[in-house]
Structure 1
Amino acid sequence: MAADVDKTIPEDESKMSQRNGHLSPGSGSWISRGIWTLLIVAAVPLLAFGIKSYQDAQLIQRHEESVRTLGAEGLFLFSSLDTDHDLYLSPEEFKPIVEKLTGITPPVDFEEEETHDPNGETLTLEAKMQPLLLDSMTKSKDGFLGVSHSSLSGLRSWKSPAVPFSSFSATQFRALLPPKNKVGVGDTWWVIPSELNIFTGYLPNNRYHPPSPKGKEVLIHSLLSMFHPRPFIKSRFAPQGAIACIRASNDFYYDIVFRIHAEFQLNDVPDFPFWFTPGKFTGHIVLSKDASHVRNFHLYVPNDRSLNVDMEWLYGASESSNMEVDIGYLPQLELQSTGPSTPSIIMDQSGNIIDNRDGGDEPIQFVFEDIRWTSEISRQEAARRLEVALYPFKKVSYLPFSEAFERAEAENKLVHSILLWGALDDQSC
């Protein structure tokens, strides 16, 4: 009986101790670890917030010091070089100053032009053009009084595309694919970055022949050469370069919207230079993510404005020579694919050629499946994102006069009115 009593007493005490809230040493250790884990988890965002606040405070302090040291105008010049806005100039950001002061341009590492698969798919493009309407130029109002015939010789003789049809390898359009960090719908990136800033100024006017294109410039140069044999991929004035945006995508395809700012030199020696600068080239391409197939391609100069081309010509052989400026309307300048890209040869499963472009038999008719996008934005929204990337002031809505007052009344805001001769964004009106 004593043994039975001894056995029951600890059991009762154990139950009592649990009722009174006493825990074993192992249980206490578990709670301690849990508390420390919660403290660490809570401390991480607080630490991140503290670091971010410190960095912001340092940036504000550097900004105030910069204003005191450089003044507002000096800070504006500094900011035009400080592309990452950290208020420090890296060697890459300082490079334009070096080039301006020394006159020496350091060698640039261009991407190597890819070799194209001769058995890959080929895309045929057709160039269409309606020449500029001479009576849309302001100089036409007085019968081009004072304008020499030789000045406009290149313009008057440019009546049709230089190359009406041309074939391209589908892989050449790899130049328009996005970089690895820009693969989401709505992402924008530079295909050909602008090299102009407040220190470099503009490129010289007294030139006839464009520099040899390199890297991604090769594709753009080849496309624009279908219109005229002397395209300048990098325009003399801003905006300069080519930029693109993913409008839609799925597992296999992209629909990419792009715009290009380039110009043509219409005159050749002995006539003085004549620059022909469309407001912009824009368009889109639907291509596979490995650039092996192009479903559709379209490039054109928009003609929805009353004036869409800027023209400048020299009256001398030097940069200091007098220059005439005019604007006009170009009804049509576009490239359009005649159909999807197709392979030059077709093989069976054993690798035997069963058809090729040179065969005398009836060519095989291809049937292409419809492309269904899993993610997309409107073409207008893609175009807007390109505009904002080129012109930061486009982040603010610019509205027609009547709409501006309606919006101002609805949002209880003031109206800032701007009167312009021409367009606020693109160089041509």
Structure 2
Amino acid sequence: RNAPSDWIHGPSSPAACSKEPWQAETALKSLGNEGLFLFSSLDVNNDLYISPEEFKPIAEKLTGIVPVSSSEEEEVLDPSGETLSIVAKFQPLLMETMTKSKDGFLGISHTALSGLRNWTAPASPLSVIFARQFKAFLPPKNKLELADPWWIIPSELNIFTGYLPNNRFYPPAPKGKEIIIHKLLSMFHPRPFVKTRFAPQGAVACIQAIAEFYYKIAFRIHAEFQLNEPPQFPFWFSPAQFTGYIVLSKDSSHVREFKLFVPNNRSLNVDMEWLYGALENSNMEVDIGYLPQMELESLRPSVPSVIYDENGNVIDSRDPEGEPIQFIFEEITWQREISWEEAVSRIEVAMYPFKKVSYLPFTEAFDRAKSESKLVHSILLWGALDDQSCSGRTLRETVLESSPILAFLNQSFISTWSLVKELEDLQVKDEVNSKLADLHLEKYNFPVEIMICLPNGTVVHHINANYFLDITSVKPEEVQSSIFSFSTSFEDPSTATYLQFLKEGLQKAKPFLQA
């Protein structure tokens, strides 16, 4: 299957590599197809000139020397600071979970997938990092309450700004709070992009627990990796999310515990996108798959890198028998705390405002609908709705987060979203709920289907998201003949049309409910 519409996956062609056709033709003759592609991937501002800043990734690649930023250097040069040992655990993507594996990857060149196939182990299985570098995770002064989320790295993209270009190989140099996240993700692969090509970018955190001298902070990071290098075309590997927690002192001098991981509780958790074809008309191929394990975890609490005796003299880190000196850490007594589930939910809503509506698991939604005598608002997708693994991005960034839709869904419906793969598994493995899955899948059309259902699973109204996009991308007066009419209460045709769709679902359900 080729890539879904741009509203699902963003722009599919690389940025133009020159301002005039004749310039592109001249450049192609001089550099060749592969050389021109590499040039355009480095020419970030598209001015036909590679500045020293733009050339840095190539220089670092050729020399093997990566300069340390001044802010990072200040932390590294502190000889008395505590250090934290972090181990990386990685199990490669299961190739058989990719949809393209069903046809044996026909039509896909071996080199396109080479970066993916060759990535079988973490780049750095063990890393030692200064504790104070984790100060980026500390809350700002106005976010010191439990469950009050803040952005560690703000998202700079939305549906109106568009997405970042696909034709890039080397990540920009990290700055400020990006540095520690880049350092951590580099343990998995040497080319992490701390800021994703599409929204929401960045990282969000909130305080999960507070003690006298410590915070426990939950966080979520959206980042991706570039697996290929020239002369191959780019191959983007976008995990659903990186989530985790850190327990650190309020002055960031000591880290008690750290864990970061890609959730593996869903059947699919990685989006992959890669370019193919000639440079001038390259296309984007898309797939999704399952990654069993990708995590970082501290081996033990951070310890001093230099040990002093009571007189201030440096002493050996090993005892007379040659064994490492054992440190005793005081037990942390939490004064206030919230559950992991609540912390995750607060962070999720900060990144995805559409989650102000509760989206229940599939079967649980129908049980709740029965008990509350409500209809089910259900969204069935190829990829997840609330993470970065190939989801209905435009849908969640527009109508689903609009105030009228949020209010109407909370008032009149029980909401759920599901992966096609999970309902296919439900058909086979769960006799009790297989009928619910059947009723959904027989109405499904790729890539996203929106449905209004009775508590027994009967679908009374549905619309494909691509069709929804088509009829709302034109002027209201041009769709008078459509099955939908626009409400004069809202200026936004998408919101008005979605609201009308929900109301029609309620209307169509009445005969069934009265029977």
Could you state the TM-score of these two structures normalised by the residue count of structure 1? 0.71
| C-alpha distance 352-258 of structure 1, shift in aligned 2 (>3 A) | same
Task: State the 1:141 CA deviation.
Answer: 0.7
> Mean alpha-carbon deviation: is it higher for 174-183 or for 361-370?
361-370
* AA partner of residue 334 (structure 1): E
Distance 1:123 1:343, change over 3 A: same
- Contact 1:196–1:240, Cα closer than 8 Å, also in 2: yes
Describe how 1:103-182 pairs up with structure 2 within 5 A: 112-113=71-72, 115-116=74-75, 117-182=78-143
> In 2, are the aligned partners of 1:111 and 1:215 still within 8 Å (CA)?
no
The answer to whether structure 1 residue 282 and structure 2 residue 274 are counterparts is: no
Rg (Cα) greater in structure: 1
What is the one-letter code of the residue matched to 1:377? I
Cα distance in 2 for residues equivalent to 1:193 and 1:112: 19
Judged with a 3 Å threshold, the aligned counterparts in structure 2 of structure 1 residues 199 and 111 are, in CA distance, closer, same or farther, namely farther
What is the Cα deviation at residue 262 of structure 1? 0.4
* Pairwise CA distance, 1:317: 6.6
Q: Is 1:113–1:214's contact at 8 Å kept on the other side of the alignment?
A: no
Superposition deviation, residue 357 in structure 1:
7.1
- Looking at structure 2, the residues matched to 378 and 341 of structure 1 have their Cα atoms a distance apart, in angstroms, of 25
How many corresponding residue pairs? 322
Q: Determine the C-alpha separation between the residues in 1 that align with 2:361 and 2:292.
A: 24
Q: 1:397 Cα deviation (Å)?
A: 1.1
Unaligned segments of structure 1, at least 5 residues: 1-99, 103-109
Does structure 2 retain, via aligned residues, the 8 Å contact 1:111–1:216?
no
Q: Write the distance in 2 (CA, Å) between the matches of 1:407 and 1:141.
A: 36
Does the CA contact (< 8 Å) of 1:272 and 1:316 recur in 2?
no
- Aligned residues of 1:282 and 1:301 also touching (Cα < 8 A): yes
Map Cα deviations across residues 108-162 of structure 1 (whole Å, 9 max, x no partner): xx99547122111000111111111111111111111000001001011101001
SS at match of 2:230: coil
Conservation of the 8 A alpha-carbon contact between 2:158 and 2:200: no
Greater alpha carbon shift after TM alignment, 338-347 vs 358-367: 358-367
In structure 2, stretches of 5+ residues that fail to align are 1-44, 48-68, 391-515
Question: Following the alignment from structure 1 to structure 2, what is the Cα–Cα distance between the partners of residues 113 and 255?
Answer: 24
**Which residue of the other structure, out of 158, 161, 175, is the alignment partner of 1:200?**
161
Amino acid at match of 1:120: G
> 2:208 and 2:158 mapped to 1: Cα distance?
29
Give the aligned partner of residue 314 of structure 2: 353
Q: Give the aligned partner of residue 327 of structure 2.
A: 366
Post-superposition offset of 1:268: 0.3
Aligned-partner Cα distance in 1 for 2:263–2:319: 38
1:322-349, CA deviations, whole angstroms, 9 ceiling, x for partnerless residues? Answer: 1110011111111111111000122233
Q: 2:282 aligns with which of 308, 321, 326?
A: 321
Q: In structure 2, which of residues 386, 390, 399 is the aligned counterpart of residue 425 of structure 1? A: 386
Say if 2:227 is the partner of 1:266: yes
| Greater RCO structure (CA 8 Å; 6+ sep) | 1
Contact 2:222/2:388, CA 8 A, preserved across alignment: no
- Contact residue 318 and residue 325 of structure 2 kept, 8 A: no
Q: Distance in 1 between matches of 2:121 and 2:87?
A: 12
One-letter code aligned to 2:340? R
TM-superposition CA deviations, 1:242-301 (whole Å, max 9, x none): 111110011100111111100000000111100000000111110000000001111111
State the partner residue of 1:218: 179
Q: CA deviation at 1:211?
A: 0.3
Q: Deviations over 1:342-395 (max 9, x none)?
A: 001222332122334799943211111221100000111100111111111111
In angstroms, what is the RMSD of aligned CA positions? 2.3
